[in-house]
Structure 1
């Protein structure tokens, strides 16, 4: 379980792919990010919940099984790419952001990018099957980053990046056409599911 508040970014040092299985070695940019971490810990990499399998020098390795490979942007990733990193929550931590499971719902695409004074406003395509899970002023995770939905339309939705988010995540570099991992709010999922069941 995560909050969508990124601990640091990291660079992909090594990427090995066999079929739809992928092994990644990632080096966090913050030197103390892995302090206290042990093999077996959960870690969110660009919003995808993965398991630390090994520590290598100043980084760590994880493996994506075929399901994670298919449902995420990692099939587009290359050595040197910047990824968002977050350690799992501990009981007693402040719950800022929102509840993020690290289970990516869909890969979606940036369809508009605007600068509005100190904010970067990004618009993404909204898959039809997720329409009832994305609402204005609700929450969504993009590449693992907890964001507030500024506007939710029939086919798209927009978010805004404050200067802090621009500085500590990889979202500031997104351009029109780029792909991202998207996870809707888990509370919205259950509400949407129960509404459908109740209508039958």
Structure 2
């Protein structure tokens, strides 16, 4: 499990595509973030939970299945791409973000990027597949970063980033048209599923 609080930004060092999987190697300038990190440990890379297959002092590698590669922004990554990194949460850690599983629901594109007072407002296309899962003041993970939804309009939603978030993520590199990984709030998913089940049962009872 993750919290969506990005710990550092890494850089794609190598993308090795093979027949049944893709290997990503990520370099980390802040090597202290890899202390104690070992083969078999989990790392969220731009919000995607992956398992380390090799670990060195300043870099690590993970294997990505083709379906994950195609479903996420990994398909657009190349050497030098900056990625948000968060190690799996320890039982002793403070829980300050929101529950992030590391399983990306959809990708979406940036529609607008504008300064808003001392923050940066990012507006994204609202994928219809996520209808009802993105709500004003709700939580959402964008490239693995726990953010609060600023507003929702027909076909779009927006988030606002404070200076700290900008300094510690890869969002300052985003430009209009870029794609990001989305993971909606797990609580919202359960509520949505429960409502669907309730409606279905009511309809069955009505027709019985």
Calculate the TM-score normalised by the size of structure 1. 0.97
**1:18 positional shift:** 2.6
Aligned positions of 1:79-118 closer than 5 A: 79-118=79-118
**1:37 positional shift:** 1.1
What is the CA–CA distance in structure 1 between the aligned matches of 2:70 and 2:111, rounded to whole Å? Answer: 22
Deviations 1:48-97 (A, max 9, x none): 00000001352000010012112100010010111000000011211111
Q: Mark the structure with the bigger radius of gyration.
A: 2
**Alignment-derived partner of residue 15 in structure 2:** 15
**1:21 positional shift:** 2.5
Cα RMSD of the aligned pairs, angstroms, is 1.1
Deviations 1:120-172 (A, max 9, x none): 10011111120211110000000000000001223110000100000000012
**1:118 positional shift:** 1.5
**5+ residue gaps in structure 2?**
201-208
Contact kept, 8 Å, 1:54 with 1:60, in 2: the verdict is yes
Aligned positions of 1:30-69 closer than 5 A: 30-69=30-69
Contact kept, 8 Å, 2:29 with 2:58, in 1: the verdict is no
Aligned positions of 1:1-200 closer than 5 A: 1-19=1-19, 21-200=21-200
Instruction: Tell me which stretches of 4 or more aligned residues in structure 1 moved more than 3 Å.
Output: none
Q: How many residues align?
A: 200
